Amino acid sequence: MTAPDKADIIIKVSGLNTQFGKQVIHENLDLEVRRGEVLGVVGGSGTGKSVLLREIVGLQAVNAGKIDVLGTDVTHCGAEAQHILRQHWGVMFQEGALFSSLTVAQNIKVPIRELTDFPRWAQDEIARVKLAMVGLPPDAGAKFPSQISGGMKKRAGLARALALDPDILFLDEPTAGLDPISATGFDELIKNLKSSLNLTVFMVTHDLDSLIAICDRIAVLVDQHVIVGTLEELMDVDNPWIQGYFRGSRGRAALTTVTPGNRASEKKERN
């Protein structure tokens, strides 16, 4: 495999150590994310998938190591640099993480208000455009999170993550809890947005279908380290967890049946 040019590396994690008490989560972990790719991040429970995401976006302190995003060391940068970086990435947390006391449109405008001085009319217009971009109807903007479905909440959370036209999109379990048809639709949405907006996508997921459908490479957190490759490359890695994940019954079902539009039948066969 040809090594990427340094200019193509948009996220670089070097020698990362993460520890909670006596429990070591990551040990001397190295990872590079290439500009314009969709990188899926998987691993067993307790391997620190979401922790890694939070460390990259500066929400979780690291014990040791360095994380560069867009050429800035997020582990040591000051408030001003962090403020600038936040304008270049968007984060969609699990379940959308919408503020229940705000309408959908108001939720979308949260990062705009926090990170820019755009006038109110511009904020309103951005919220309107982002609603349409993620496939939500115009009237969804006036509703509160309790008034919309789980799938709509996911899309609203995505709209908020895209509010400032980021270079990098971070997704934490984006299809968790969705029915097969909605999950397929969300995968297609991410794939189309990545292409049309030239996004780099860092996606934590358990969903084999998503990994197969939209990821260029997959990073597997195992034994406190990370193994990265294409799906085909990982299938040949001699590691019990990786083999069990990709070559187990669920992995075989996903690999043989996942094509656009047939996710529902594949799920039915598993149950």
Query: How far is the C-alpha of 239 from the C-alpha of 208, rounded, in Å?
Result: 18
Look at residue 135 and tell me whether its pLDDT is greater than 70.
yes
Cα separation of 211 and 224, whole Å?
Answer: 21
Which CATH number, 3.30.200.20, 3.55.50.30, 3.40.50.300, 3.10.310.30, labels domain 6-88+166-270?
Answer: 3.40.50.300
95, 107 Cβ separation under 8 angstroms: no
pLDDT higher than threshold 70 for residue 146: yes
Domain boundaries, the chain: 6-88+166-270, 94-165
d(CA 34, CA 153): 29
Q: Which of 219, 214, 204 is nearest to 94 (CA)?
A: 204
The token duo for 145 is: 């999170």
Q: Which residues of the chain form beta strands (DSSP E)? A: 9-20, 23-34, 38-43, 64-69, 72-73, 89-92, 168-172, 200-204, 217-222, 225-229
Distance from CA of residue 146 to its chain's centroid?
24
Condensed to tens digits (0 to 9), the pLDDT of residues 184-242 reads 999 999 999 999 999 999 999 988 989 999 999 999 999 999 999 999 999 889 999 99
Residue 265: pLDDT band by 50, 70, 90 thresholds?
A: very low
Amino acid 77: pLDDT: 86
Nearest to 245 by CA among 211, 215, 214, 201: 211
pLDDT of residue 268: 40
Q: How far apart are CA 235 and CA 270, in angstroms?
A: 21
Query: Which neighbouring-strand residues pair with 11?
Result: 33, 69
Do the beta carbons of residue 198 and residue 35 sit within 8 Å? no
User: For the segment 228-259, what is each residue's pLDDT rounded down to a tens digit?
Assistant: 999 999 988 999 999 998 886 665 555 665 54
Note the pLDDT of residue 79.
85
Order of strands, sheet of 38-43, starting from the edge strand that comes earlier in the sequence: 89-92, 168-172, 200-204, 38-43, 217-222, 225-229
- SS3 letters across 142-157: HCCHHHCCHHHHHHHH
Residue 247 is predicted with a pLDDT of 81
195's tokens = 């292409």
Whose tokens are 């047939």? That residue is 262
Q: Are 67 and 55 in contact (CB under 8 A)?
A: yes
User: How far, CA to CA in Å, does 112 sit from each of 107, 125, 148, 231?
Assistant: 10, 11, 23, 37
Q: Which two tokens stand for residue 219?
A: 């990073």
pLDDT (0 to 100) of residue 260: 44
pLDDT tens, residue by residue, 16-65: 999 999 999 999 999 999 999 999 999 998 999 999 999 999 999 999 99
| pLDDT the model gives residue 94 | 78
CA distance 105 to 124: 8
Contact 216, 229 (CB under 8 A): no
pLDDT (tens digit per residue) in 69-113: 999 999 988 888 888 999 999 999 876 689 999 999 999 999 999
Interatomic CA distance for residues 86 and 90, integer angstroms? 7
